[in-house]
Amino acid sequence: MESWCKGGVIYQIYPRSFLDSTGNGIGDLQGITSKLDYVSGLGVDAIWLSPFFMSPMKDMGYDVSNYTDIDPLFGNLDDFDSLIEVAHKLGLKVIIDQVLSHSSDQMPFFQNSRTSQTSEKADWYVWANPKPDGSPPNNWLSMFGGSAWEWEPMRDQYYLHNFLISQPDFNFHNLEVQNWLLNSSKFWLDRDVDGFRLDTVNYYFHDQQLRDNPASSISRIRPPTNLYYMQNQIYAINQPENLLFIERFRSLLDEYTDRTSVGEIGDIHRPLEIMADYTCDNKRLHMAYSFELLGPKFSPSHIKETVEKFFDSSINSWPCWSFSNHDITRHVSRWSNNQVSKDRFAKLTGAILLSLEGSISLFQGEELGQLETELEFEELTDPPGIRFWPENKGRDGCRTPMVWKGKEQYGGFSTNKPWLPTKEIQKEHAVDLQETEPSSVLNFYKKMLSFRKEHKDLKTGRIKFVKIDESLLFFTRGDQKKIACLFNLSTDPITVEVNEYEEIANSPRQNAELNKKNLTLEGNGFIFLKSK
What are residue 93's DSSP bridge partners? 46
**pLDDT tens digit sequence for 72-106:** 999 999 999 999 999 999 999 999 999 999 999 99
The DSSP letter of residue 401 is P
3-state secondary structure 261-287: EEEECCCCCCHHHHHHHHCHHHCCCCE
Give the number of other CB atoms < 10 A from CB of residue 282. Answer: 11
Active site residue 199: yes
The class of domain 462-531 in CATH terms is mainly beta
Burial class from Cβ neighbours inside 10 Å (0-12, 13-18, 19+) for residue 153 reads exposed
C-beta separation of 87 from 44 below 8 A: no
Question: Parallel, antiparallel, or unpaired: how do β-strands 157-160 and 195-198 relate?
Answer: unpaired
For position 2, what pLDDT does the model report? 67
244 half-sphere exposure, CB direction, 13 A CA radius = 9
Distance CA 77, CA 212 (A): 43
Q: What is the pLDDT of residue 224?
A: 56
Q: Could you say which of 2, 133, 255, 376 is catalytic?
A: 255
User: What is the average pLDDT across 127-147?
Assistant: 97
pTM confidence score: 0.97
Helical spans, DSSP H, in 100-201: 108-113, 175-189
Is the pLDDT reported for residue 435 higher than 60?
A: yes
Q: Which residue would you say has higher pLDDT here, 392 or 212?
A: 212
Q: What is the pLDDT at residue 168?
A: 99
Q: Dihedrals φ, ψ of 467, to 5°?
A: -150, 130
| Per-residue model confidence (pLDDT) at position 490 | 97
Q: Are 329 and 401 in contact (CB under 8 A)?
A: no
Q: What is the pLDDT of residue 225?
A: 75
Q: Phi first, then psi: what are they for 118, rounded to 5°?
A: -125, 10
CA 463 to each of CA 102, 362, 442, 458, 525: distance values in angstroms, whole numbers, following the listed order? 37, 20, 26, 9, 20
pLDDT at 220: 55
Beta bridge partners of 502: 530
pLDDT digits (tens, 9 = 90+) for 393-417: 999 999 999 999 999 999 999 999 9
Q: How far apart are CA 267 and CA 272, in angstroms?
A: 9
Strands 518-531 and 510-515: antiparallel
Percent helix, strand, coil in the chain (nearest 5)? 30, 20, 50
The CA–CA distances, whole Å, from 476 to 174, 304, 473, 481 equal: 48, 12, 10, 10
Q: Give me the helix-helix angle, 271-278 and 300-313, nearest 10°.
A: 40
Instruction: Determine the average pLDDT of the residues in 363-386.
Output: 97
Q: Domains of the chain: which residue ranges?
A: 9-102+174-450, 462-531
Nearest to 432, CA basis, from 525, 526, 368, 371: 368
Q: Is the pLDDT of residue 255 over 80?
A: yes
Q: Contact at 8 Å (CB) between 56 and 106?
A: yes
In whole numbers, what is the pLDDT of the chain averaged over residues?
Answer: 96
* 9-102+174-450 CATH, one of 3.40.50.300, 3.40.50.1860, 3.40.47.10, 3.20.20.80: 3.20.20.80
Q: How far apart are CA 168 and CA 171, in angstroms?
A: 9
Q: Looking at the predicted structure, is the pLDDT value of residue 185 above 90?
A: yes
Q: What is the pLDDT of residue 532?
A: 85
pLDDT one-digit tens code per residue, 7-34: 999 999 999 999 999 999 999 999 999 9
3-class secondary structure, 55: coil
284-319 per-position pLDDT tens digit: 999 999 999 999 999 999 999 999 999 999 889 999
Residue 492: CA atoms inside 13 Å, Cβ hemisphere, count? 5
3-state secondary structure of 225: coil
In this prediction, residue 223 carries a pLDDT of: 57
Would you say 318 and 360 are in contact if contact means Cβ atoms under 8 Å apart? no
pLDDT of residue 467: 87
Which has more pLDDT, 318 or 479? 318
**Residue 221: what pLDDT?**
54
- Of 79, 97, 199, 277, the catalytic one is 199
Confidence of residue 3 (pLDDT cuts 50, 70, 90): confident
CA distance 424 to 12: 23
Q: Give the pairing type, strands 260-264 and 287-289.
A: parallel
Whether 9-102+174-450 shares its CATH topology with 462-531 is answered no
Sequence-distant (≥ 6) Cβ neighbours of residue 515 within 8 angstroms: none
**Other Cβ atoms within 10 Å of 454 Cβ, number:** 12
The span from the CA of 124 to the CA of 137, in Å, is: 18
Q: What values do phi and psi take at 496, rounded to 5? A: -130, 140
Helix (H) / strand (E) element for 494: namely: strand 494-497
Terminal C-alpha separation, the chain: 31
Q: Is the pLDDT of residue 516 over 90?
A: no
Residues 6+ apart with CB under 8 A from 211: 138, 235
- Report the amino acid identity of residue 340: V
pLDDT of residue 219: 56
46 forms beta bridges with 10, 93
